[in-house]
Amino acid sequence: MIRVNNLIKDYGQRRALCGLTFHAQQGEVVGFLGPNGAGKTTTMRILTGYMPPTEGEAIVAGYDVVSESLEVRKRVGYLPETVPLYNDMVVFDYLKFMADLRHLPDAEERVEEALELVGMIERANGYIGNLSKGMRQRVGLAQALLHRPEVLILDEPTIGLDPNQVVEIRNLIRELGKERTVLLSTHILSEAQQICDRVIIINKGQIIAEDTPENLQARLLGAKRVMIQVRGEADDVLPQIQAIPGVRQAVVNLDGTIEFEFLPTQDVRPRVARAIIEAGHELLEMRTISMSLEEIFLELTKDNAGLPM
Amino acid sequence: MRNIWTIAKREYNHFFISPIAYLVAFAILLVLGIIFALVIYSSSQNVFFGSVPDIRPITGSFAFLLVLSTPALTMRLLADENRMGTMELLLTAPVRDIELIVGKWLGSFLFMLTIIAITLVYPIVLNALVRPGIDQGLMITAYLGLILVAASFLSIGVGISALFSNQVAAFFATLAVLITLWWLVGFPANYVQTGADIFRYLDLQTHFYDSLSVGKINLTDLVYFFSLIALGLFVGTLSIDIRRWR
Ligand SMILES: Nc1ncnc2c1ncn2[C@@H]1O[C@H](COP(=O)(O)OP(=O)(O)O)[C@@H](O)[C@H]1O
Ligand SMILES: [Mg+2]
């Protein structure tokens, strides 16, 4: 449903996206988690046909976002981060206008259906300018749902809402995500964990981690990262380390050192050391290092210190 | 095509809740009303000398009023979408950039047509007051000229509005371009040796006051106005495109 390959976006001299690659299946709710300035909005604007990437390719609902932009836009529902709306319009008229731009044959019923879904039907005749932040958010969401899109792209859908509204919107998104593809962005870790089937963590225009919320949780709560150095070719040693149960994400770094992770419940370090020696290699160094993921999460959770993880 | 109509309709309706649009309509009708009263008064003084009042003072001043009023109608059209961020909605809806620009222009054009239609009261009343009536052929070409001038000005205004996020800036930039077309571009024609024809051709006043306003329909004038309309719409579309690629 969404396939992104090596996406790069430059704003003038400044590189906002440095080669993103990810995908999302139908019926999957994928969360884009990252601090402000990570590149979430930029990615979403490219996926919705608002602006083209500098390099790379993005396929949404089977169409290329650059060469088949109109086809993509027909099939995508988008809630921009700033929730732009016409304040001098009545809610119903605004949605009817957007429905007409999409050539919906039963525009008025669709507007009512969307308003019903977001629980705003009783405000249909009010002016948008008089709505609270939470209501604006819901009108924006209704706009994104008008044409029953295959793909929903929601940029920080719960930002600025009060806790009750947040719960409502999250439930709605989960519901919508059952048969659609939903890509949503957030800078709140707990939100990503609650709503998403899969979380992509991005920072400074790069994907740092991609996993299910459960695995991310485990990695966060205690996964330890270890660096080891052996005499000789690291590539020869790698398969033996990878074969040890409990060793995760073992890789050879450019400088010839090896890195892997393990959960604290299962300290694999002695077994790794033994395996290296038994295989006839010499172990020069082994030490735990701080995970870059942890640093990102410190950054991420700094603004939301009060929220439960 | 359908999108153009949807966008035009919204803009047209929006003018009716816009104080600036009412101000523009009121100012035009007031000034033309005063001129109309003067025409009636002066012709009633001269009635024994057999002078037939003509509508050129009305259509002529109307064309001049368009220079000042069309920028006020168009300044908001795209600059405000840029400022409020609603451009993001329009550019992620399945609407072509050109449809958006043409729709905005058409909405303002239809509103201006409405004002122009109301001003028809003046020549119609004049026609009823005098015998044997006014020169109707002249009236039709003059009004055709007014419509073409308005359409061109609005197109330029829409194109320039797309370049800005600030409607005041869009207003003054449009006004500057219209003043150039109206007064300034013709000046060099009197002083330069080569290319004088080009400056004379670019001068908007000649295409109105020397032709349509006096009952002549020339192909060159029509081409001139249609080129201006196309140019404004092109600039608008291009500017959206540039914003995307930035
Ligand atoms: N229109 C723009 N012009 C220039 N730089 C921009 C623009 N939009 C975003 N950026 C920059 O690109 C980076 C990514 O921004 P953004 O995609 O908005 O991040 P996020 O949505 O994750 O907060 C930031 O460094 C930001 O300053
Ligand atoms: Mg953002």
CA distance A66 to chain B (A): 11
Q: Write out pLDDT tens, residues B57-97.
A: 888 889 899 999 999 999 999 999 999 999 999 999 999 99
CA–CA dist B149, B219 (Å, integer): 15
Q: What's the pLDDT score for residue B145?
A: 92
Residues of A in contact with B85 (CB under 8 A): 80, 82, 84
Domain of B96 in residue numbering reads as 2-245
Write the residue in A50, A74, A87 that is nearest to B88 by C-beta: A50
Query: To test ligand 1's pocket by mutation, which of A33, A36, A41 has the most ligand atoms within 8 angstroms of CB?
Result: A41
CA-A12 nearest atom, ligand 1: 4
Q: ipTM value, please give it.
A: 0.90
Determine if the peptide bond prior to B132 is cis (ω within 30°): yes
State the best of B89, B90, B102, B165 to mutate against chain A, taking most chain A CBs within 10 Å: B89
* pLDDT tens, residue by residue, B169-221: 999 999 999 999 988 877 777 777 777 777 777 888 888 878 887 777 888 88
Model pLDDT for residues A172-195, shown as the tens digit of each residue: 899 889 889 999 999 888 888 888
Please list the pLDDT of chain A residue by residue as tens digits (309 residues).
Answer: 899 999 999 998 999 999 999 999 998 999 999 888 899 999 999 999 999 999 999 999 999 999 999 999 999 999 999 999 999 999 999 999 999 999 999 999 999 999 998 889 999 999 999 999 889 999 999 999 999 999 999 999 988 788 888 888 889 899 889 889 999 999 888 888 888 999 998 988 988 888 888 777 766 666 677 889 998 888 888 888 888 888 888 888 888 889 888 877 788 889 999 988 888 888 999 988 755 555 666 655 555 433 333
Residues of chain A with Cβ-Cβ distance to B89 below 8 Å are 80, 84, 98, 143
Residue owning the nearest CA to atom 24 of ligand 1: A37
Predicted structure pTM score: 0.85
The pLDDT value recorded for residue B155 is 98
Closest Cβ opposite residue A73 in set B6, B7, B94: B94
> In whole angstroms, what is the distance from residue B145 CA to residue B148 CA?
5
Quick one: which of A120, A73, A68 has its CA closest to A94? A120
Using the beta-carbon criterion (under 8 Å), do A73 and B93 form an inter-chain contact?
Answer: yes
Residue A74 has its nearest CB partner, among B2, B87, B94, at: B94
Amino acid occupying residue A137: Q
Closest listed ligand to the CA of A159: 2
**Region of B60 on the Ramachandran plot (φ > 0 left; ψ -120 to 50 alpha; else beta):** alpha
How many other CB atoms are found less than 10 A from the CB of residue B182? 19
- Number of domains comprising chain B: 1
In A, which residues are within 8 Å of B246 by CB distance? Answer: 11-12, 51
Q: Is the dihedral of CA A87, A89, A90, A94 positive or negative?
A: negative
Task: Break chain A down into helix, strand, coil percent, rounded to 5.
Answer: 40, 30, 35
Contacts of A284 (CB under 8 A, 6+ apart): A229, A230, A231
Per DSSP, what are the bridge partners of residue A283?
A230
Beta bridge partners of A32: A185, A200
CA A193 to chain centroid: 11
